[in-house]
Structure 1
């Protein structure tokens, strides 16, 4: 089996940019080494199912938990383990907090002796596509349909934010569960706007008018992380999705003919070309790294910057006191959009898996049921400053300006939170889009040339029989 580009849920940029590695930097598994015979799978511990034990956990079975100990640390995982042992006091838990997940666990998957639950995150993580192809992951269907840990009257799957189940689904099977939730939008300093009397725009016409006002005040309206033009893709593609709705997103992801020439994409490309044509992007932005562009924005050299919801945490040592950054939804391009004005691009990350050859599959699933409880997720939000993928987990908490605005944006979007999948399914197409957008916003390509270039790449990919195709 050839490892597919679909190796990590969409929002990997935080990990990628902080670690300065390429997206999809996974540790591949050779299928010949991981496809064991029928008798390779050891008997997994199981107990009697009941209303209080819906997954049939064997109460005295040991549980091994491996957590990626990165920027979030692993205390949140240990707290969930404490809740597990409160419920199953006879169980012992072997906790491992590590950085190089793939390097540590690949030999164990090959030997069919994996842990019971794994946080497969960080540079050098295991290749999920390879694990999926080798049938090394347990289905999470039983967990999704089980009662939630907080409220037995509510199914586990109904406690998750929009798109979380889909983000972890491979060829129709739910195999991965992502713990954090990332939203993308346009960021600005709330005090700056208040001091100038500026109102965040809801339509693109309002954005263009405000940009003229901002420029007249001696501030660049926009900057962006120039060396990574994918940052500008997010608002552009968000605008297109608002115009064309779910049909446009599916056409793009499913590599349909002429998908990139849809009216919604054309109008969005024209909108961002207009930013460049009118001089509303800070001079020199193209040459800036993400840290340089974000620092310039924090210094007040530009009013807007596009980014995901990790921005506040990334800038905590750079933003001046009282900067109070907030995220706004991408303004609508037209007055007849298929998604509402509050719709946002959002997806989940921080991937948890339960190996199919684990000794305690039921315990691994139960651990995830506890980890994804409001009690556990709330603790994580307070310590990590990141939105968990559990609905209502941050309700009632006093949040920072950035995280609070992200929470509010996600709540306002509701079921109109959306995401594209092509970036993780097809790495070559993602690069083609990034390159084309870089040319567009630096006035080296027209919107029509932008669409033609990307469509050509999509068509070539669609015709390539060596590339596994996914549909939604």
Structure 2
């Protein structure tokens, strides 16, 4: 169960593979940790809400400390928009938290290659991680043949909306590009922001939108081919998709305007939905834990197809974060025991999802593990993802680190007009090609 989960489902290859993945989920849970833990641990994390922090303290920190009396976890709460820089600085100085949180496989590779992380292969065998954690997710933490990270949670992208807003104007939820663009134009004309968006709280929100356009306009098949090195990111299908997304920003369809995009906070976006001042918000399953304080009548929808030929319903596969152990930790066994605890007890996992929208760990979870009073919208969402006929790929999970960093930072220059879509795609392709040759591209699970 992760606490810092800005980018938080499932498995590669299509509907059949996804069905197989979920069948493995239904196999049941796992027992409690058997590690012998002693010593003190520093755990740094940020939280999307006070409710998530309280849940984490009670159900993780206090619960672990109670079951491991010789060990003590000390939680240090950080701002989620600065924690990455704090961790990087501390690791470079040979210090930092015992448990290293990262946004996903792309980021963790750089840490491992810098020698900041302890290999976890022996713990994986001892504690049964190879059997408990779903293979596709576990594989993403293997770097140069060694296991350096465990997936904290899985996620997908979606659209939140206020049904009352659509109803008031007689609008239907869009299923394709034509419907979506017509609705955006009409909403904009009525003074309603078509898609609430902004990166004031978190710069990497840029890549949520890039991931949306790559999967729903270029399409998951084209994207998979490029990630496998069988197509180029300079191909017209990608340049056209990026040009399309830039056009949406230029028209003010995302965020209201380019300038406002840089100042819009997440709370302001949810409030716009609640107040019928925005139609949609493109975000991820992590938003389940963020939107509730703003209004209760929210609903979710699959992000529509944004090009003819792309399926109407595509659910991205994504990992929201990873757990690693600091190579300089003085309590490696205790740190491994805490990671083991974080990735155990399916009922605790589903309780976190139901109560505070916490991400689910990619472990075996049975339908009987879910609480009976779970919000039916949440249950329906995970059912939809489970039955997805088509799956896509997020940038932060399946792109290598240098390419992913440029995707985030370079996008701002695209929407301000300083870099053209063609130049953006060319730089992505250049970086990706070099990292693919260097073996730095995260694996595409089979």
Q: Where on the TM-score scale, by shorter chain, does this alignment land: which range?
A: 0.5 to 0.7
Determine the C-alpha separation between the residues in 2 that align with 1:282 and 1:106.
35
Counterparts of 1:251-262 in structure 2, within 5 Å, are 251=229, 259-262=232-235
Larger radius of gyration between Structure 1 and Structure 2: 1
Aligned positions of 1:37-76 closer than 5 A? 57-58=35-36, 62=38, 64-71=40-47, 72-73=52-53, 74-76=57-59
Mapped partners of 1:395, 1:417: distance in 2: 26
Q: How does 1:315-354 map to 2 (within 5 A)?
A: 315-317=291-293, 319=294, 321-322=295-296, 324-334=297-307, 336-337=309-310, 341-349=313-321, 351-353=323-325
Q: What's 1:272 paired with?
A: 245
Of 114, 118, 123, 1:137 maps to: 118
The whole-number CA distance in structure 2 between the counterparts of 1:304 and 1:53 is 41
Does structure 2 retain, via aligned residues, the 8 Å contact 1:297–1:303? yes
The equivalent of 1:395 in structure 2 is 370
**Matched length:** 389
Give the match for residue 165 of structure 1.
138
| 1:6 aligned partner | none
Q: Distance in 1 between matches of 2:431 and 2:73?
A: 46
**Which structure's relative contact order is higher, taking Cα pairs within 8 Å and 6+ residues apart?**
2
Gaps of 5+ in 1: 1-8, 16-51, 86-90, 149-153
> Residue 387 of structure 1 contacts residue 407 of structure 1 at CA under 8 Å; is this kept in 2?
no
CA deviation after TM superposition for structure 1 residue 230, in Å:
3.9
Residue correspondence of structure 1 range 219-258 to structure 2 within 5 A: 219-225=192-198, 229-239=206-216, 240-251=218-229
Aligned-partner SS, 1:68: strand
Matches within 5 A, 1:118-157: 118=99, 120=101, 129-134=110-115, 136-140=117-121, 143=124, 147=128, 155-157=131-133
Contact 1:232 1:437 in 2 (8 A): no
Structure 1 match to 2:165: 192
1:33-112 pair list within 5 angstroms:
57-58=35-36, 62=38, 64-71=40-47, 72-73=52-53, 74-78=57-61, 80-81=63-64, 84-85=67-68, 92-99=70-77, 110=94
CA RMSD between the two structures = 4.8
Aligned positions of 1:382-421 closer than 5 A: 382-390=354-362, 392=365, 395-400=370-375, 403=378, 407-413=382-388, 416=391, 418-420=393-395, 421=398
Residue in 2 aligned with 1:27?
A: none
Deviations 1:3-48 (A, max 9, x none): xxxxxx9x97579xxxxxxxxxxxxxxxxxxxxxxxxxxxxxxxxx
Aligned residue in 1 for 2:154: 181
Task: Give how far 1:262 is off.
Answer: 2.6
**Structure 1 outlier segments of 4+, above 6 Å:** 52-56, 100-105
More helix, by proportion: 2
Q: Deviations over 1:303-331 (max 9, x none)?
A: 122223344544555x3x44x33333322
Q: TM-score, normalised by structure 2?
A: 0.67
